[in-house]
Amino acid sequence: MTPDTTGTLFLPPQSSTLAGEVDALFNFVLYVSIVFFLIIVLGSAYFALRYRKRRTEQLDTAPSHSAALELAWTIIPVILVFTTFFWGFKVYLKMHIVPKDAIEVKVTAQKWFWSFDYTKENVNSVNELVVPVNKPVQLTMSSTDVIHSFYVPGFRIKMDVLPNRYTVTWFEASNPGSYDLFCSEYCGSGHSEMIGKVRAVSDRDYKEWLDSVGLGGEEIPLIELGAKAYSAKACNTCHSIDGRPGIGPSFKGHFGSQQKMADGTTVTVDENYVRESILNPNAKVVQGYQSVMPSYQGLLKGREIDALIEYIKSLQE
Amino acid sequence: MNAALEQSYLKNPKGLTSWLFTRDHKRIGLMYLYAIMFFFFLGGVFALLIRLELLSPGKTIMSADQYNQAFTLHGAIMIFLFIIPAIPAALGNFILPLLIGARDVAFPKLNLASFYIYVAGALFAIYSIITGAVDTGWTFYTPYSTESTTSVISMTFAVFILGFSSIFTGLNFIVTIHKLRAPGLTWFKQPLFVWGLYATAIIQVLATPVLSITLVLLILERVFGIGIFDPAMGGDPVLYQHFFWFYSHPAVYIMILPGMGIISETITVFSRKKIFGYNAIAFSSLAIAFVSFLVWGHHMFTSGQSEIAAMIFSFLTFLVGIPSGIKTFNWLATLYKGQISFEAPMIYTLSFLFLFTIGGLTGIFLGALALNVHLHDTYFVVAHFHYVMMGGTVMAFLAGLHYWWPKIFGRLYNETAAKIGAILVFVGFNMTFFSQFILGSQGMPRRYYNYLDQFQPLHAFSSFGSFVLGIGFFVMLVYLVHSLFKGKTPGYNPWGGLTLEWTVPSPPPPHNFDKIPEITHGPYDYDKILVKRN
């Protein structure tokens, strides 16, 4: 089946091997529904106009029961809905049986970003899942706080991500491109910002990406690397760089300032405070903000932390 | 001043305490009606705030946290304080004894108690809103709800209290229907609204305790950290979802079954027809009530439950759709060869047929496992349940409210204004929610404060629709209040109905019937009796 890459009124473009099968069922149910909708609505509109009240009222003479008719409108819907049931179950099973040769990625969801671990390749990325096209990818997912849900509309897959438990889903991207990844289980203040991307690339680009290990090597200046990390590691979900307060304090003019903490003490934002706030964020929380930030221990390398500190330092008024 | 009004339950006995301590089902029903209308208004204000915020991406009028509180309160208020009690406790209380030829419900004091328990629950809910409105969504999913810093305990406690009110009303109705029917009113001569209330009452009594227990566990979890739902202590957050939906799915039928009952009344009266397939409609109510207990797992197809469980729940979900389909075809067939007139209750009835059909059919998409994976927790679901709950239950409630308004208040509203209001509500509703089907199937997740630019045109369209809807309800408020003061006085039977409430004055006297009536004909015998309107 060639995937529909333009999409329809109801459905986004098909970008995985299973999307076409899901859409075929969607369209079947849609057409059956339209037929039934027309029967009910045109039927009642026709009766309402045809049998509108005459001047003098008469006794009702129409039948109030018909075994044949009642059997018909019981049995026909039964057949149609059970067809839909079996069809839906069949495709659902395909969604749940992971092909043996799938690439495995460990997904960790937390308030409010996605983190992807390529365990074999020892590579980690945040909010961007890079996969090769035409290769099945298995996602083994868990959450470190509340329930989240991994949803890529273009692939027609969704699976809840739970704390203290693993859930598994898989997909095979059928064409190269960049696809929206949403969190679809309500998880608080940053729920609608918990958006990532799935980038499906050619085999060669995938290998190159794995080798380049995310942000880039030693040659990039620290501030530039920090700016990259700011968006690549999802700092931007909660911290603005233009002074707007978000879920966390804005980075603009933050460095060097005096901040009152939730426990009443005052702290000067210096290198050590920023470092502590990245690795152990709830040790000292600025007053007026909730202690909701997860630790970045293990998600950032030494040079990336230095880079972020320099970047925040550069954001003066 | 007309004589019926002076001698009615509204004026006898007089004085505030005679209302506060009344045991008259009509007065209790009326007090419920005022209370639920207040909460419908409040929930509606939250709805309009939500749609205003979503007019454009990013911040429009409120912060993310305020938005999360707004949609939680919209849901919690509309579900627990408006739609569950709306038809049974307000209209049902008033009409049920009149429909079966009784002077009151079986336990009048329990009836008053259930109203005050509702008030207590409502006060707790208001207290919760003032002291740091809850932000968990109306479903209170763990572990979010055990971690949230908002006032989760007071809101869940409010819902816990409201549950008892619902249980007492259900119990009262079951006994009333069994024991207080007038002589000659056999089970199969009962108006279908009575069947609807009966099936509803069974669910209320059997399912509500499960919600109560679940909410107590949630409160214990928050206060003492007992660790039944909290994964950090070895608990299971998905267990909470099972418990919650074990009540809350049948609760969907607590909301829709009485509405279906009202439609069976109005569609016959305004088409002067015997109902088509009485037995099928009556039994399908009971079938829905029974099967509704077995489908809760369809809220959790993406929660990681086993494929076998998902298969069984999907199968049963399709099964529960069949009786609703049967009812819809029966209503359609009732119109055939009728003598149809288009007063406001009938406009709402036809709106119900149109909207509930869409609500029901879109349920088939969601019941199919493979489609549910894509559509779950998107705006498709939001649109679906608004078509069922608002397009279904609220339209039926409005049909019933306009149908019985002259009986309840002894006043007629302005028919032209009512038609304009009904059309605005219908158009506004479809604009608001049909666009959300497309948003959802295109991938827009629900409960999002912010959204990507590609979703803006449909979001803006939906918001404009909600403003039209708001104007429709404002028109309704104006003509209904106006009718209370300036409305014309109706006779006993302004629509020409055959059921017993139309044989007593409008409004009825305190004791309903001077003499308990003897039932000699069916509720819809328009083939035998020519009824005059007066």
pLDDT tens per residue across span B379-433: 999 999 999 999 999 999 999 999 999 999 999 999 999 999 999 999 999 999 9
Please check whether residue A48 lies inside any domain of the structure: no
> For the residues A295-305, what does the mean pLDDT come to?
82
Residue B151 corresponds to which tokens in the numbers above? 């006032």
Please check whether residue A5 lies inside any domain of the structure: no
Could you give the number of structural domains in chain A?
Answer: 2
Residue A94 corresponds to which tokens in the numbers above? 């395909």
Question: What pLDDT is stored for residue B90 in this prediction?
Answer: 97
State the CATH number of the domain containing residue A252.
1.10.760.10
In the predicted structure, residue B303 carries a pLDDT above the cut 70: yes
Banded model confidence at residue A217, pLDDT cuts 50, 70, 90: low
Same domain? A254 vs A308:
yes
A221 vs A139, more confident: A139
**Residue B135: DSSP 8-state:** -
Residue A177 corresponds to which tokens in the numbers above? 């491109």
Please check whether residue A68 lies inside any domain of the structure: no
Pick among B270, B329, B346, B356 to test the A interface (most A CBs inside 10 A) = B329
Same domain? A228 vs A209:
no
In the predicted structure, residue A162 carries a pLDDT above the cut 50: yes
In the predicted structure, residue A317 carries a pLDDT above the cut 80: no
Question: What pLDDT is stored for residue A290 in this prediction?
Answer: 83
> For the residues B322-345, what does the mean pLDDT come to?
95
In the predicted structure, residue A1 carries a pLDDT above the cut 70: no
Same domain? A179 vs A148:
yes
Same domain? A206 vs A237:
no
Same domain? A121 vs A245:
no
Cβ separation B341–A70 shorter than 8 A: no
Of A111-115, A261-265, B27-31, B421-425, the least confident: A261-265
Residue B106 corresponds to which tokens in the numbers above? 């079986």
Please check whether residue A238 lies inside any domain of the structure: yes
Type and span of the H or E element at A200 = strand A196-201
Q: Count of A–B CB contacts within 8 Å?
A: 266
Q: How far, in Å, CA of B488 to CA of A221, rounded?
A: 83
Where are the alpha helices (H) located in B22-151, listed in sequence order? 25-53, 64-76, 84-85, 93-99, 108-130, 144-147
In the predicted structure, residue A2 carries a pLDDT above the cut 60: no
Same domain? A99 vs A143:
yes
**Could you tell me what percent of chain A has a pLDDT over 90?**
57
Antiparallel, parallel or unpaired: β A167-172 and A136-143: antiparallel
Q: How far, in Å, CA of A28 to CA of A22, rounded?
A: 10
State the CATH number of the domain containing residue A206.
2.60.40.420
> For the residues B93-115, what does the mean pLDDT come to?
97
Helix, strand or coil, per DSSP, at residue B6: helix
**With 0-12 CB in 10 A as exposed, 13-18 as middle and 19+ as buried, what is A101?**
exposed
Residue B115 corresponds to which tokens in the numbers above? 């109203």
- For B207-221, how does the pLDDT look when each residue is reduced to its tens digit (9 = 90+)? 999 999 999 999 999
Q: Which of A213, A230, A254 is the last residue of a domain?
A: A213
Same domain? A228 vs A207:
no
Q: How far, in Å, CA of B126 to CA of B158, rounded?
A: 9
Question: What pLDDT is stored for residue A3 in this prediction?
Answer: 56
In the predicted structure, residue B64 carries a pLDDT above the cut 60: yes
Does the predicted TM-score (pTM) go above 0.80? yes
Of A150-159, A187-196, A216-225, the least confident: A216-225
Choose among B342, B369, B530: nearest Cβ to A88: B369
Same domain? A93 vs A179:
yes
- For A31-68, how does the pLDDT look when each residue is reduced to its tens digit (9 = 90+)? 999 999 999 999 999 999 999 988 788 888 888 889 99
In the predicted structure, residue B76 carries a pLDDT above the cut 60: yes
> For the residues B470-487, what does the mean pLDDT come to?
96
In the predicted structure, residue A297 carries a pLDDT above the cut 80: yes
Which residues of B are less than 8 Å from A171 in CB distance?
A: none
In the predicted structure, residue B112 carries a pLDDT above the cut 70: yes
Same domain? A126 vs A16:
yes
Residue B350 corresponds to which tokens in the numbers above? 């036809």
Which residues lie across from B106 on neighbouring strands?
none
The pLDDT mean for chain A works out to 90
Which residues of A are less than 8 Å from B56 in CB distance?
A: none
DSSP states along B244-280: HHHHHHHHHHHHHHHHHHHHHHHHHHTTT-PPTTHHH
**What values do phi and psi take at A132, rounded to 5?**
-80, 145
Q: Which of A213, A238, A273 is the last residue of a domain?
A: A213
Cβ separation B322–A10 shorter than 8 A: no
Please check whether residue A51 lies inside any domain of the structure: no
Q: Which domain holds residue A168?
A: 10-38+77-213
Banded model confidence at residue A216, pLDDT cuts 50, 70, 90: low
Q: How far, in Å, CA of A232 to CA of A210, rounded?
A: 15
Q: Which of A213, A248, A273 is the last residue of a domain?
A: A213
Same domain? A155 vs A271:
no
Please check whether residue A29 lies inside any domain of the structure: yes
Per-residue burial over B354-371, b if 16 or more Cβ lie within 10 Å, else e, is bbbbbbbbbbbbbbbbbb
> For the residues B457-468, what does the mean pLDDT come to?
97
Contact call for residues B187 and B121 (beta carbons, < 8 A): no
Nearest partner of B488 among B409, B394, B380, B416, judged by Cα: B409
**Could you tell me what percent of chain B has a pLDDT over 90?**
93
Which residues of A are less than 8 Å from B64 in CB distance?
A: 189-192, 247
Cα–Cα distances (Å) from B448 to A157, A159, A190, A228, B332, in that order, read 19, 18, 9, 26, 39
Same domain? A109 vs A181:
yes
Structural domains of chain B ordered from first start: 11-503 (1.20.210.10)
Pick among A8, A183, A186 to test the B interface (most B CBs inside 10 A) = A186
Cβ separation A12–B442 shorter than 8 A: yes
Same domain? A226 vs A207:
no
Question: What pLDDT is stored for residue A211 in this prediction?
Answer: 81
The pLDDT mean for chain B works out to 95
> For the residues B276-293, what does the mean pLDDT come to?
93
> For the residues B298-305, what does the mean pLDDT come to?
94
Cβ separation A51–B336 shorter than 8 A: yes
Cβ separation B373–A61 shorter than 8 A: no
Nearest partner of B459 among B39, B49, B7, B56, judged by Cα: B56
Please check whether residue A21 lies inside any domain of the structure: yes
Which residues lie across from A126 on neighbouring strands?
A115
